[in-house]
Amino acid sequence: MNAPDTRRRPRQKRAIQKVESILDAVEALVVVQGSDSITTTQIAEQTGFAVGTIYQYYSNRTDLLMAAHDRMLERMAEGVAEAATRVDPKREDSVEVLIRLYVQTAKSNPGYLSLLKFAHANQSLEHSGANIDAFVGKIISHFITTRAPHVSEAEARISRTIAVNLLSVMTDLVLLEDDPNLQERYLTEMIAHCRFALERTIGRNAE
């Protein structure tokens, strides 16, 4: 039987600000030294909080770094979603534009690749898929309903699930690959497979 989770959930403004300060410190340290060597002592020094205060909100270092990763992903999602509104889903290359926008946004955020490597080693596949769904799920749904407005909810959900799972696996390959040629090859394949999955849904709806 697992012990009850006694960590505090920030509800009041002051507690929320503490959590934000802790995660801000993690991001700043990751940019300078990467995620592998960060310690809670360093985070305490950066924030001015006691180490015990940090553990009131995060049970261990892994939970803390995962929270920083997820917060950064959420922030990027907002930016991508806003940019996606300027991409016409009816454009022939709209799938490629959206995926490259997504990848470029992830690559351009300082510290994100280091946190991604940490998350990739410590999170479950289900967690990764949920993150990707949060990142691009609404964009995919918008693409489907715009290109195929009469598609059934079930068909749209299947197509979205396939695209999200492709992205959750292949995005890591793209972002964590050091060889630029292989990175571009993975990206090209990801675009082709996502386009195929989405176009199949649109094609079936047009029949």
Question: Could you tell me which residue, 139 or 161, shows the higher pLDDT?
Answer: 161
- Say if residues 27 and 68 touch (Cβ distance below 8 Å): yes
Find the range with the poorest average confidence among 13-22, 121-130, 157-166. 121-130
pLDDT score of 2: 42
Percent of the chain at pLDDT > 70 equals 85
pLDDT score of 129: 59
pLDDT score of 163: 82
- Among 139, 26, 37, 34, residue whose Cα is nearest residue 72: 26
Average pLDDT over all residues of the chain? 82
pLDDT score of 137: 75
What the block records as the tokens of 169 is 């696996």
From the CB of residue 181, how many other CB atoms can be counted at a distance below 10 Å? 8
Question: Could you tell me which residue, 97 or 1, shows the higher pLDDT?
Answer: 97
- Sorted by where each starts, the structural domains of the chain and their CATH numbers stand as 1-59 (1.10.10.60), 68-206 (1.10.357)
d(CA 79, CA 102): 9
pLDDT score of 60: 92
* Residues 31-49, mean pLDDT to the nearest whole number: 93
pLDDT score of 1: 38
Question: Who's near 126: CB < 8 A, 6+ residues apart?
Answer: none
* Residues 184-195, mean pLDDT to the nearest whole number: 90
What's the longest Cα–Cα distance across the chain?
64
Question: Could you tell me which residue, 125 or 30, shows the higher pLDDT?
Answer: 30
Question: Could you tell me which residue, 63 or 148, shows the higher pLDDT?
Answer: 63
In angstroms, the first-to-last Cα distance of the chain is 54
